[in-house]
Amino acid sequence: MATALSNASTNIADTAYIRQAMKSPMLSREEEHGLAEKWTHDGDEKALHTLTQSYMRLVVAIAHKFKHYGLPVSDLIQEGNVGLLQAAMKFDTAKDVRFSTYATWWVRASIQDFVLRNWSIVRTGTTSAHKSLFFKLRYLRQKIDGASTEQGLTEQGRQDVADHLNVRLKDVEEMERRLFQSDQSLNAPMSSEEDSGADWLSQLPSDTPTPEDLTAETKDEETYKSWLNGALSTLKEREQYIIQRRHLTENGATLETLGNELGISKERVRQIEGDAMKKLKKVLMKDAGANGLN
């Protein structure tokens, strides 16, 4: 009930706005130029208001051309008004062009960006080619193939669209699927049977390890740790100390630090470390070979 009242209130507000827009007087070229001059050079906000108010009908007209994308017309109009203000901010009175002509591009671009951002939960391409494909595909489908929404394009039709818009055939195929198939919730049931209990989310593959993988990984870690401890036990005490401090602690000690602790040069520490690593590698390779891992 609350939703119905809210929708009714929104419709009333939209209707009132559109009526107000239609009542705004049209401006002549001279009036446009004068108002734009006052705003651009003098910062006259009243002139800006009058200029933009006079072209609210332009915003409404353009917004209605995009209503078939399923977005609220009121939101489209608001975005169009943003574009209208941007046009007023950037309009150059020195150029021989009507403000209405200049503003049309900004209004349409603002509404198109809004549609691209909100039409689907899946992000749509933002390159100029992808935008052109998004907004022209419906028209080109009927022009090229005479296809209905249900039929779709033929292979040749898709290729013709790709050639016409200078995009990849793959892009046309993907955009056609997205434009003419609505978003589906992953929690929606896969079957119409109420007791089936399966939804689309349950069919997605999981990236987390399975219990079997975790068990195998734990066992492998224990095995490798056992091999390493066994290999370390074959080293001399000083060799073990250097390997532990250099490689088996979170912040490995420097050669100079170990040299100072052991009362030897850092070059001697390097030599002991190198010999110890060779011994470890030899023992570990032997263990791996004995377990068929070579």
8 A C-beta contact, residue 8 and residue 23: no
Q: Enter the pTM of the model.
A: 0.47
Closest CA to 238 of 209, 263, 211: 263
| H helix runs in the chain, sequence order | 2-23, 29-42, 45-53, 56-64, 73-90, 99-118, 128-144, 155-165, 169-179, 211-232, 237-247, 255-262, 266-290
Cα 227 to Cα 246, 272, 274, 284, distances in angstroms: 19, 21, 19, 7
Higher pLDDT, 264 or 193: 264
Higher-pLDDT residue of 17, 120: 17
Identify which has the larger pLDDT, 228 or 106.
Answer: 106
The pLDDT value recorded for residue 31 is 87
- Cα dihedral 110, 111, 113, 117 sign: positive
Q: Is the dihedral of CA 90, 94, 99, 101 positive or negative?
A: negative
Task: Summarize pLDDT for 11-70 with one digit per residue, the tens.
Answer: 556 676 677 767 777 888 888 888 888 888 888 889 888 888 888 888 999 998 888 777
The residue with tokens 């209905």 is 148
